[in-house]
Structure 1
Amino acid sequence: FVISAAKIDPRLKAIATVSMYDMGAANRNGLKHGMTLQQRQQILRQAANQRYVEFQGGETLYTGGTQHSLTGDPVGDEFYDFYRTPRGEVTPAGASSQTTTRPTLTSNVKFMNFYPFNDIETISPRPLLLITGADAHSREFSEDAYQRAAEPKQLLVIPNAGHVDLYDRVELIPFDTLTTFFQSHLQ
């Protein structure tokens, strides 16, 4: 979201991301472009039908989000390890732990119209730092943004780090790099 904001707000003088996701691409294409056009069209049809169900007072459908048990899916299990354990689990007052981190079908498809990397080059000449884990399933998004962005830009790949590792594994988070980046560009 910071990429999208930086394109339209010149007050952002230096932009850094850690474990970035392009939620538009993830919803349109799936990870590593694993979703077909037919699958996407089916999701859109299902969401359109669901909007009418909800308009009539029917039950809300939830989709995606963090699973509630380990399943052997590496991406899902990585998110489970953070969001469904004391490591990162937070259920806001009044919320159900069954729906926390799970979007509704009708809201999630709106991401299919979200293109944060279009015109990313307009952020230049403001500096851009993209940090990702070498083992992160989300690495493709930082690499895509880096390829599209204009200079000055930097892509930092952290060895032995997955996506969620860069949330809280302080020994892996490049605090020195972030500090230097912001101190040198926010004078």
Structure 2
Amino acid sequence: MKTEVTFDSAGLRLAGHLYTPDGAHSGDNRASEPRAAIVVGHPGGGVKEQASGLYAERLSRAGFVTLAFDAAFQGESEGTPRGLEDPAHRIEDIKAAVSFLSVRDEVDAARIGVLGVCASGGYAVPAAATDHRIKAVATVSAADIGAQFRDGADGTQDPAVLQGLLDAAAEARTAEARGEGMTAFPIFPESEEQARAGGQHVFEGWEYYCTDRAQHPRSVKAMPWSSVDRIAQFDAFRFIGLIAPRPVLMVVGSEAVTAPMSTAALARAGAPKELFRIDGASHVDLYDKDEYVSPAVTKLTGFFQDSLVGVPAR
């Protein structure tokens, strides 16, 4: 069952979808007992109706209470400027979601995990590193958005690109102080031709967010310039070692340009930890293509059952 919910994150009301397993509220006493729960964070630019909602719904079928929500400044959640990507607030959003679940009757507060998709994979790690209420961490196509802005998704970006972005962000802040209003930059190419020219990763992002494949009217298509300097100094995996001995699972596609980010992150993590590759999948394939999502969900289900429920997957 999907229920619309709201909760507070640093003074802003966030909108979420709470998924509860069928029978969780039936007359069966065992069915109504508090369950393990999972917070599911969306990719940068995404909304709860896209990849995070898909994973939340699928994991609820496996018996977990799950929560997919829109980050502050995005989707149906509060916050201006609209579309702002603020890593510090995104981490706070995850902790606020854990707080929300912790006081729900249907949730066992001692058994809460986090799943981050894409950029939220990079936010889930620091959230868990400093919040001991989070008992297990998993990611799908994890991305360190800070590293992506600094070095590019594949790590080969010319350093001048970031310097140009920071110059533009500084100018935008000054212009706003002069009363000229907030300005933003597009995060996707305007056409399929331009998207294909940007390579596989750029094209797949454009196809997912800007075509009938998965586009949504509330997903972010432009980002305020004031996001750039916030993102540029963010280091998603710096403190991943603080999560141990709580378990970490990182799911990647074998063809994903971002896969090395998860490999490098786990090299800095303590045990227990695991990298799980899905053959043939790219970064964005794991957002919605069932031939890749299904094995990811199977792996995630077993991971969370072992780490939150203590019962092996059936």
Whether these two folds match at TM > 0.5 is: yes
Determine the C-alpha separation between the residues in 1 that align with 2:152 and 2:181. 26
Deviation at 1:77, TM superposition (A): 0.9
1:54-73 aligned at under 5 Å gives the runs 54-58=176-180, 60-63=182-185, 65-70=187-192, 71=194, 72=196, 73=198
Residue of structure 2 in register with 1:139 after alignment: 259
- Once the two structures are TM-superposed, the CA of residue 40 in structure 1 deviates from its matched residue by 2.5
Matched, 1:150 2:276: no
Of 160-169 and 57-66, more deviation after overlay is shown by 57-66
Closer/same/farther in 2, CA of residues 155 and 31 from structure 1, 3 Å limit: same
| Residue in 1 that maps onto 2:203 | 77
Q: Do structure 1's residue 114 and structure 2's residue 240 form an aligned pair?
A: no
- Which of 172, 177, 181 is residue 292 of structure 2 equivalent to? 172
* TM-aligned CA distance change 1:171 to 1:38, over 3 Å: closer
Deviations 1:9-68 (A, max 9, x none): 111111100011101111122223223444323322221111111222325443352223
TM (norm. structure 2) is: 0.54
Percent of aligned pairs sharing the same letter: 34
Q: Which moved more, 1:37-46 or 1:130-139?
A: 37-46
Instruction: Return the match for 1:5 from 99, 116, 127.
Output: 127
Distance in 1 of aligned mates of 2:291 and 2:205: 19
Is residue 128 of structure 1 aligned with residue 254 of structure 2? no
Distance 1:32 1:131 in 2: 18
The equivalent position to 1:87 in structure 2, one of 182, 189, 213, is 213
Q: Which runs of 5+ in 1 are unaligned?
A: none
1:142 is displaced (CA, Å) by 1.1
Gapped runs of 5+ residues in structure 2?
A: 1-122, 310-314
- Is 1:160 aligned to residue 280 of structure 2? yes
In the alignment, what sits opposite 1:14? 136
Q: Give the Cα–Cα distance (whole angstroms) in 2 for the partners of residues 32 and 83 of structure 1.
A: 20
The one-character-per-residue Cα deviations of 1:134-159 (angstroms, maximum 9, x if unpaired) are 11121122112111111110001111
Alpha carbons 2:126, 2:239 under 8 Å: kept = no
User: SS in structure 2 opposite 1:132?
Assistant: strand
Structure ranking higher in helix proportion = 1
Rounded Cα–Cα distance in structure 1 between residues aligned with 2:184 and 2:260: 26
Matched residues, number: 181
CA contact (8 A) 1:27 1:109 kept: no
Deviation at 1:112, TM superposition (A): 1.0
Change (3 A) 1:124 1:64: farther
Q: TM-score, normalised by structure 1?
A: 0.89
1:34 matches 2:160: no
Following the alignment from structure 1 to structure 2, what is the Cα–Cα distance between the partners of residues 63 and 149? 35
